[in-house]
Amino acid sequence: MTTFSKEDVKYFADFVRIGLSEEDKENFSAKIADLIESVSDLKEVDVTGVKPMTHPVAMINVLREDEPKDILDREVMLASAEDQEDGLIKVPDIL
């Protein structure tokens, strides 16, 4: 029986900066334990000497000319941000 404690949930959620309620931790603890249990069948596979597959269709050195193009307007893009000032995105205090 695989366990994945509430502390484990918080430990990994912290890396990706996801806040969780107590109820979330409980819920994910059980669900992720089930997931880990279910993927443990991968241990049965003999992968000796097998190369990992990173791309389903291998393509090598896809290049194009490095030419400037008309790209998106800065003002238009900035309009998507919640808070902005003088052409910069404003964020809450860092310290």
Task: Work out how close the CB of 69 gets to another protein at its nearest, in angstroms, rounded to a whole number.
Answer: 9
Q: Which helix (H) or strand (E) segment is 84 a member of?
A: strand 84-85
Task: List the one residue from 5, 7, 26, 35 that touches another protein (CB under 8 A).
Answer: 35
3-state class of 89 per DSSP? strand
Give every CB contact of residue 33 below 8 A, 6+ residues apart in sequence.
2, 3, 4
Q: Is residue 90 within 8 Å of 84, Cβ to Cβ? A: yes
Over the window 11 to 30, marking each residue x when it contacts another protein by CB under 8 A and - when it does not, the resulting string is: -xx-xxxxxxx--x--xx--
Residues in touch with another protein (CB under 8 A) = 4, 8-9, 12-13, 15-21, 24, 27-28, 31-32, 34-36, 38-39, 41-43, 45, 47, 50-57, 59, 62, 64, 72-73, 76-77, 79-83, 89, 91-95
